[in-house]
Amino acid sequence: MNAVLDELLWRGLVADSTDREALSAHLDAGPVTSYVGFDPTAPSLHIGHLVQLMVVRHLYAGGHRPLLLVGGSTGLIGDPKQTGERVMNGREVVAGWVERLREQMSRFVELSGPNPVRFVNNYDWTAELSTLDFLREVGKHFSINRMLDRDVVARRLDSGISYTEFSYVLLQSLDYHELFKRYGCTLQSGAQDQWGNITAGIDYIRRTERATVHGLVTPLLTKADGSKYGKTESGTVWLDPQLTSPYAFHQFFLNAEDAKVAEYLKVFSPRSREEIDDLARQVSEAPQLRAAQRALADDITDLVHGESERRAAVAAAAALFGRSELSELPVSTLSQVAGEVGGGKVEAGAELPLVVDALVTGSVTDSKGAARRAITEGGAYLNNQKVTDVEQRVTDTDLLHGRYLVVRRGKKTVGMVEVVR
């Protein structure tokens, strides 16, 4: 078994592939040019995209030559979804997102040296392609019967699917064909839901070039109940810190389920097999320590946001729950956390609000009565200091960086209040 393929298999990064032995031999035969595509259907990548970038990193480390395709043309259309038609974004919007995704991806791959990862854009070979040429040169090689058999198409037939989304597979197949001709690309990787598109491209190259090329897809990340991993109650976990803060990002992975954390470590962590096996053992023997979750959260936050942001996220969590000093957190970290833990703003004049009011504004109690009960029962905190007087008022010295308050009920219910004057 080829070493890179063996590593991908061990890390759970192969859900399916073309002939396994042939692919292994192909990777053994010399540097292989591969590609994976990303459509700019949003202004940021999310953690599902990061799985694909981890495959790229393994291929690159094994001496291969990855191409990263940003779909300036396919992003104008969008791969068919299970649930319904995508909203088509304007050309200028998509072009802007192309550049944002390129910038994001450049942080995860090597762009210099003797074997740099290269970016390509399918708009380069589709922009001038006429409809007649597309139908004559590409469309004639695709069977409608086979296209109708694709899972996503079959599921959409009852609710309806436009010809635009129906024809997406032709464009992706054209991408593989163009990259085969231009760069000698012989391997396409992607997520499991791209298997139909990838095999269509393989067949298109076989028909037109009489050549054998390969495909590999990763499994979709799931939770223990089978639902998709990478979503929170507030939405998608993005790689852009403006859309998902480093604090929220770190917290998301810190809350990984015991049953799945070793699987996620294999995908996202650079740790060795021995280290990951040891962390899996600790989950079994001492789950309360959450050593594997901390390793996962630290490793992936380091990768996406850098060590300094990870340290700030860890420090913020410790301070919020009374394990370190809140006053030591920089205002930028407090501002970031304020957007994640819940709470609100209060306008204050010369007189600052009662702590009772701050507990309600911070969303740790749902009424003033509940706030008073929390205080009298010894479960209310202002900036990690227990509050014992229901008439206590916030003072200027309580304001962190002159504007923030951290309120807490019990050990785990935390909120923030921003005081505006």
User: Which residues are annotated as part of the binding site for ATP?
Assistant: 231
Ordered strands of the 214-218 beta sheet: 16-17, 214-218, 185-191, 33-38, 65-70, 118-121
Instruction: Match 């909203």 to its residue by tokens.
Output: 87
Contacts of 83 by beta carbon, 8 Å cutoff, 6+ apart: none
The answer to whether the beta carbons of residues 256 and 227 sit under 8 Å apart is no
Q: Is 217 exposed, middle or buried (0-12, 13-18, 19+ CB in 10 A)?
A: buried
User: Which residues are annotated as part of the binding site for L-tyrosine?
Assistant: 35, 168, 172
* Residue of 196, 200, 176 lying closest to 187 (CA atoms): 176
**What are the angstrom distances between the C-alpha of 258 and each of 265, 286, 294?**
11, 11, 12
User: Which residues are annotated as part of the binding site?
Assistant: 35, 168, 172, 231
Q: How many CA atoms lie within 13 A of 53 on its CB side?
A: 25
Instruction: Match 């480390």 to its residue by tokens.
Output: 61
Angle at 417 between CA 416 and CA 421, to 5 degrees: 155
Per the document, the length of the chain is: 421
Q: How many CA atoms lie within 13 A of 271 on its CB side?
A: 24
Query: Beta strand pairing status for 65-70 and 33-38?
Result: parallel
Contacts of 195 by beta carbon, 8 Å cutoff, 6+ apart: 15, 16, 215, 217
Contacts of 243 by beta carbon, 8 Å cutoff, 6+ apart: 43, 44, 236
